[in-house]
Amino acid sequence: MTIKFRKMENLSNLNWENIGSKDTRSGFGDAIYELGKEREDVVALCADLTGSLKLEKFADEFPNRFFQIGIAEANMMGIAAGLATTGKVPFTGTFANFATGRVFDQIRQSIAYSEKNVKICASHAGITLGEDGASHQIMEDIALMKTLPGMTVINTCDYNQTFAATKAIAEWEGPVYLRFGRPKVPNFTPKDYKFKIGEALLLKEGSDVSIFATGHMVWKALEAAYALVEQGISAEVINIATIKPLDRDAIIESVLKTRCAVTAEEHQIIGGMGESIAGFLARNFPTPIEMVGMNDVFGESGTPEELMEKFGMGTKDIIEAVSLVIARKQF
């Protein structure tokens, strides 16, 4: 069988080093401030979390284009849809739990179904929200948002990629869900990188297993891949920042070579990126696959690293998943 695919962008020649840990939400805040200077049609809405979303500079510089809605997230989505109707490009900002789970009906009816050009930007996503606990640690948001027809879903891995993705979605026509986090994490992607919606990035070439990672798990996937070298295992690492539309060409390109895969995400396994990849492979190129993520439980209060380790989303968990999937591989 001959399978044709577009080759993914290859950055495996770079040395992946943390150039200084930064929170991904600051990448959003700095980028939207730049967008405000570049485009008068860009407006920002916030649900009483201006500081948490790093929107202070935008609010101070462009007070006539900043709307403080208060703790009324559903209202914020409706206002954003109305602003989009007038030709504005609205960016809404709040915690991921409130940006999706609390207001899903408004997003479905007023934004997705109506095909409004609204950018839903969500910070404090996943379990790395940390001490605020399970009520705020939404691990189901990707599952919710990717089911909506026409909704683009992006989950960035570091400050630089979040900055680049924020700039990119301003140019993208249609509703977008942009997911990022609270804590400082390694910042390692190129500063001058141009984010391409729908395209994966090859970070490390390998021949034994494909590791598809998204968000905060990308750095952990790289750590795992370099540790696996000592075991004689060559792991390929691919950054899946755009979860929908999925870069199917990149997935096929990699698994045709490795014949097995591991997915890694800070999200419920049920409904997450891993299931999207597994579903695609099951229909096109059946492949042994293991998934690293939250396994059908709620979180709890703790530090980000403590919680990632407790709930099976650490570097060692990716290494263990690689061992399991290679054992199942048909040579």
Phi, psi of 181 (to 5 degrees): -130, 180
Asked whether the bond before 288 is cis by omega within 30 degrees of 0, the reply is no
Q: pLDDT, tens digit, for every residue of 97-141?
A: 999 999 999 999 999 999 999 999 999 999 999 999 999 999 999
Contact 139, 155 (CB under 8 A): no
Global pTM reads 0.95
Domain with CATH 3.40.50.970 in the chain: 22-185
Q: pLDDT, tens digit, for every residue of 40-98?
A: 999 999 999 999 999 999 999 999 999 999 999 999 999 999 999 999 999 999 999 99
DSSP 48-89: S-TTTTT-HHHHHH-GGGEEE--S-HHHHHHHHHHHHHTT-E
Q: pLDDT, tens digit, for every residue of 280-322?
A: 999 999 999 999 999 999 999 999 999 999 999 999 999 999 9
Does the domain at 22-185 match CATH 2.60.120.260? Answer given as no
Does the domain at 9-18+197-328 match CATH 3.40.50.920? Answer given as yes
- What does the pLDDT average to over 29-38? 97
Please choose, from the candidates 260, 318, 314, 255, the residue with its C-alpha nearest in 3D space to the C-alpha of residue 291: 318
**Which of the residues are catalytic?**
73
Structure tokens at 102: 């609390």
